[in-house]
Amino acid sequence: MRKFSLGVLLACVAATVIAVLLPASVTQVQAATAAEEGKALAFDRKKGNCLACHMIEGGDLAGNIGPPLLAMQQRFPDRTQLRAQIWDSTVKNPQTMMPPFGRHRILTEDEIDKIVDFLYTL
């Protein structure tokens, strides 16, 4: 009887640990995947094409029209501001050369979110 109780107790503890840790690790994997997809979009010359104007670490043939994309969390502590900048940068600067990726439907809502996830890793 004692061995059975100890086994049940250990099983309950293991199940609790898995229940607590697994969702966190799944969320981390999803965030990493979204950031990787965002990087692919940002570097894709036919989609985001961020490298045409911005220097991004790891990117080839970067442009210099826009600012280098560095320390993005410090520059944009509020994710919604960074997202809004990508969605339509003409709101803050009507003379900008940056295309309004969201307003002109160059990128989808989901694609913009993934690029923001990627930029927050820089």
Residue 15: pLDDT band with limits 50, 70, 90: low
Residue 59: pLDDT band with limits 50, 70, 90: confident
Query: How far is 48 from 66, CA to CA, in rounded Å?
Result: 14
pTM, 2 dp? 0.72
CATH number of the domain encompassing residue 9: 1.10.760.10
For the cut 70, the answer to whether the pLDDT of residue 6 exceeds it is: no
Query: How far is 76 from 120, CA to CA, in rounded Å?
Result: 9
Out of 4-8, 39-43, 58-62, 94-98, least confident range: 4-8
Q: Which two tokens stand for residue 22?
A: 């697994």
Domain span at 93:
2-119
Residue 10: pLDDT band with limits 50, 70, 90: low
Domains contained in the chain, number? 1
Contact 49, 60 (CB under 8 A): no
Max CA distance (Å), the chain: 78
Contact 87, 23 (CB under 8 A): no
Query: How far is 98 from 53, CA to CA, in rounded Å?
Result: 8
pLDDT of 4 reads: 54
> Please, which contacts does 34-40 make with residues 24 or more away whose CB atoms are closer than 8 Å?
34/113, 34/114, 34/117, 34/118, 35/114, 35/117, 35/118, 35/120, 35/121, 36/118, 37/114, 37/118, 38/111, 38/113, 38/114, 38/115, 38/116, 38/117, 38/118, 38/119, 39/118, 39/121
Residue 62: pLDDT band with limits 50, 70, 90: confident
